[in-house]
Chain A
């Protein structure tokens, strides 16, 4: 069912005639002349299909393709071809929000299963139907904490959160009267002793991230107890694939689990779209933003799925809405659902394990090379920072890697704008990388640094 019905000039003429109008321009006659553009739009004029294709291909060829060791929140992972093929089905790509359950059972069931996947991954009881991305999910988590605890006005946020998450939180907090208080870092981990010192009645919640911005795994033993003793909430942001191997937010007794499902079935695609996930324990179910797909029965007693608990949204709570979210990342969440269904739990564990092994192989291959510093004892999963004695050395290495067809890593300084990060490179290794690619990286590094 793929109709392709373009208008012809004859169609246009007949439509204009039917409504008694002479030309297309006449349709815009109500717009005052002084704000209408006098000359035509500055477009170069129509090109043929072949000319357009050549034009776009030339642009695309200006992109540099390399073996990807870039991470910092967007990861180049193995995605089965079926994921894209199924996700591209017209019924999914063109679907609008499933407000009419009677014609949307397929999509609603898929989102229900996405929610189930998120719950199983995070160890939480309730998930929403997804948010825009992991960074805005953190802002929504902050809002949830502040709405939950009466007379609260502060949210403690770890300095080891992704730089974009901190930026989005700052933007969100502007003008609200709420304060985001940074918990300092110590040895590239959130300084949790500083966390307990800062807990106090005004604190609504705490936002932490593991693996953190550097790729290091943080230990939250005892943190939930401390936070809960103050009647505050604990939110933990995690790469969802990392949860196949590391302790889940549920196991840490967190109240809110957030993050981005990009590593599960979504391509990097120049940074988006992402897909924010948010899951909570049952007692916070009615405080979660966005919507939830629920399972029910229809008038014939057959199982059916519907959008439920949309009562957070602006069109219901109006000026008393606690979030401006009134949608979800349906297609992205669906894609994640398809991907996880195909690779399965064992596939995810395999991907997580290979990522870990391959990252450590690379780190070991680079360790001991002059002029750089690799993590010593701090545990990491599949991403780690390399500290360079001189920024100039880092640039030389990246340049040599690029010549060898390798995208060596993300310049942390470019993300944070901090001078102390300007000679730090974030390197991510996923299950997609091969031994040959890792050895090539090590060989180039040896040549440049030794």
Chain B
């Protein structure tokens, strides 16, 4: 049973986003890291660049696949998780503590179309 923290919002592509002050934190869900398998490389976006919602913003490579990560809310990249450079497997260990990137000046309205924890849990059941 995958973890789904209640403070996050979720996308159909298994990204999560959490607002912290005027910053949006983005990562992938427990379900996603499980499905990907052992992650060997994380390609993160350049700091300072603006990405729209649904735009491909990052790439995660596991032993079996290379997966695109789509930005949940429009915004400008404030910072990326540099620890993932040397230790990409941290995303497997805890995909909620080990975020991918932070956004600033994000479009708060984009959150409305995202699922809450209950909604995401129900969504996962439809995938089984």
Residues of A within 8 A of B (CB): 150, 286, 311, 316-317, 320
Say yes or no for B121: interface residue by CB 8 A criterion. Answer: no
Residues of A within 8 A of B49 (CB): 150
Residues of B within 8 A of A316 (CB): 64-66
- Max chain B Cβ within 10 angstroms of own Cβ: one of A150, A311, A316, A317: A311
Residues of A within 8 A of B68 (CB): 320
Chain B count of residues within 8 A CB distance of the other chain? 9
Main secondary structure, interface of A, reads helix
Say yes or no for B52: interface residue by CB 8 A criterion. Answer: no
B66 CB to nearest chain A CB (Å): 5
Sample of 11 more A-B contacts, CB < 8 Å, known A150-B49, A316-B64: A150-B46, A286-B41, A286-B43, A286-B61, A311-B61, A311-B66, A316-B65, A316-B66, A317-B66, A320-B66, A320-B68
| Cβ contacts A to B, 5 pairs, < 8 Å | A286-B41, A286-B61, A311-B61, A316-B64, A320-B66
Q: Whole-angstrom distance between the alpha carbons of A284 and B65 in the complex?
A: 19
Q: Whole-angstrom distance between the alpha carbons of A404 and B68 in the complex?
A: 63
Complex A-B, nearest 9 residue pairs according to Cβ-Cβ distance, in ascending order: A311-B66, A317-B66, A311-B61, A316-B66, A316-B65, A320-B68, A286-B41, A286-B43, A150-B49
Q: Whole-angstrom distance between the alpha carbons of A81 and B85 in the complex?
A: 48
Q: Whole-angstrom distance between the alpha carbons of A125 and B61 in the complex?
A: 22
Q: Whole-angstrom distance between the alpha carbons of A150 and B49 in the complex?
A: 10
Q: Within B37-82, which residues are at the interface with A (CB < 8 Å)?
A: 41, 43, 46, 49, 61, 64-66, 68
Q: Whole-angstrom distance between the alpha carbons of A317 and B66 in the complex?
A: 6
Residues of A within 8 A of B66 (CB): 311, 316-317, 320
Residues of B within 8 A of A150 (CB): 46, 49
Q: Whole-angstrom distance between the alpha carbons of A150 and B46 in the complex?
A: 10
Q: Whole-angstrom distance between the alpha carbons of A36 and B43 in the complex?
A: 53
Q: Whole-angstrom distance between the alpha carbons of A431 and B64 in the complex?
A: 48
- Max chain A Cβ within 10 angstroms of own Cβ: one of B43, B46, B66, B68: B66
B81 CB to nearest chain A CB (Å): 18
A204 CB to nearest chain B CB (Å): 15
B62 CB to nearest chain A CB (Å): 9
Q: Whole-angstrom distance between the alpha carbons of A316 and B66 in the complex?
A: 7
A291 CB to nearest chain B CB (Å): 14
A322 CB to nearest chain B CB (Å): 10
